[in-house]
Amino acid sequence: MTDTATTSTAPDTVPEIPELLIEDAPADTAADTARLLDLTSALRSEAPRILGFPGNLAFDFSDLGPALAVLTNNVGDPTSGDASGVHTKAYEQAVVRFLAQTAGARPDDVYGYVTTGGTEGILFGLATARRHLPHAHVYASDQAHYSVAKAADLLGLRLVTLPSNDDGTLDPESLKLASFFHRRVNPHGGRGPGAIVVATIGTTMCGAYDDVTELRKWATASGDVYIHADAASGGPIAAHAPSAPRWNFTHGADSISISGHKIIGAPVPCGVVLARKNLIDEPVIASEYTKASARTLGCSRSGLAALLLWSALRRLGHSGLRAHILRCLETAQYAVDQLTRAGVRPTRTADSLTVCFDRPADWVVHKWHLACEGSTAHLITAGHVTRTAIDDLCRDLSTP
């Protein structure tokens, strides 16, 4: 185990485009609109070849265009009114309720809200954990999302990075040893400082599912345990996976974050965070100005994101989401079969949409927007990824 240290290489840079500079005088609105429509068309045409990242690009909310002509600002808690009245909180509550059920909870037993994405969800989960276990270390695997380290740093929590197994899951034996060690050196006496564990439900590179029940069992050596499940990509998949991964509130999670723009699909980054209601402070009015209670991290929050997520989930329902996940899983197995024929040695964790294989030539990586780490590339069979695209990729992989 190691305290987290980050290494990186110089990133690619996005060049500044002089024609986009905002000048003193107003711009030509018609020309700018045409430019934005051209950009939209270019992004849409590229979407079928974006294989390496978990965002589901198979959506169309253009019928909701009039919603762009109004401000929707969800200030504070979804269940709290506010003085402005320009909110979509009833829709937000419906989204939270649906995803609470997906995550194995009775909706009345959890608190939740629509976030900007998985990073805010992790930050909220760890902030909640810190209130209950202020002296605990945070434990996460070396496959955890990099935002875990950012959140721990912002909250002043000590992150201990633990090794992962060959399948990408957190090694429970390492967690057990770390928990024993930090109980032994606990300067505060008592049962021990406790443990805050981040379980990754769908790791970035392999799509592996940490076992929440097992991690809770092995972390108890340090005292009380709080588990946040980072289910940004993998939560909706795990909920309907045939192997039934142990990832949700039923299995011992205390808080869960799920992305909306990944497996579900949305045109803006968004997500939902859920936490056991008994771990959340009672609501109080944040200010006379807003007349809203606010246990959320942000004050102003996107009402549009809540509306888009509600629309996406209403179009699916629980049965539609299940069918969507099963189709994506079938496509993942198809990818394994075709990549095997292409000779690039694919591997896939059970019931994952992520398929890893030998890193191809750079031109293939760039054409298909593959995600790479060292000698390995991967694709993710999100909703927009078709068998035709996989066949075309395999033809490129076979090109000398």
Q: Which residues are catalytically annotated?
A: 352
Please tell me whether residue 261 adopts helix, strand or coil conformation: coil
Q: Given the structure tokens 């709080």, which residue do they identify?
A: 226
Helix (H, G, I), strand (E, B) or coil at 289: coil
Q: Return the axis-axis angle of helices 303-341 and 89-102, rounded to nearest 10°.
A: 40
Query: What is the DSSP secondary structure assignment for residue 215, as one 8-state letter?
Result: H
Contacts of 87 (CB under 8 A, 6+ apart): 72, 73, 74, 75, 303
- For 351: left if phi > 0, alpha if psi spans -120 to 50, otherwise beta; the answer is left
Count other Cβ atoms within 10 Å, centred on residue 232: 28
User: Structure tokens of 252?
Assistant: 């011992």
Cα 104 from Cα 393, distance rounded (Å): 37
Token readout for 290 is 């807003």
**Cβ neighbours of residue 17 closer than 8 Å, sequence gap 6 or more:** none
